[in-house]
Amino acid sequence: GAGVSQSPRYKVAKRGQDVALRCDPISGHVSLFWYQQALGQGPEFLTYFQNEAQLDKSGLPSDRFFAERPEGSVSTLKIQRTQQEDSAVYLCASSSGQNGYTFGSGTRLTVV
């Protein structure tokens, strides 16, 4: 597609529920990033994939967060046993390394 597509746009989860957030990067983009943006803050790095390999997961806040990109295109960020502090916008970005990073519109997660 023309841009990075994320779904769902909005997700409300009850505390303790598992959620899965999807990212469809720009076709052919090797690099894929996940960022977390809390209200009134800048995005913070979570994890990075080069094709299907997860090369950096240093930003994942706990072992409840898990990301995968099994075929080197679509990626899923999974959060287990959600807690209120997980409420944020989750942004996905992809890059080919030549034209910079393109961000999706994000998934706004609210944990109640």
Beta bridge partners of 7: 22
According to CB under 8 A, which one of 75, 79, 104, 109 is a site residue for another protein? 104
CA distance 20 to 79: 7
Q: How far is the CB of 80 from another protein (least distance, A)?
A: 24
Q: What is the DSSP letter of 61?
A: -
Q: How far is the CB of 66 from another protein (least distance, A)?
A: 19
Q: Kindly identify the residues of this chain, within the stretch 41-60, that bind another protein according to CB under 8 A.
A: 41-45, 48, 50, 55-56, 59
Asked if 46 contacts 59 with a C-beta cutoff of 8 angstroms, the reply is: yes
30 touches another protein (CB under 8 A): yes
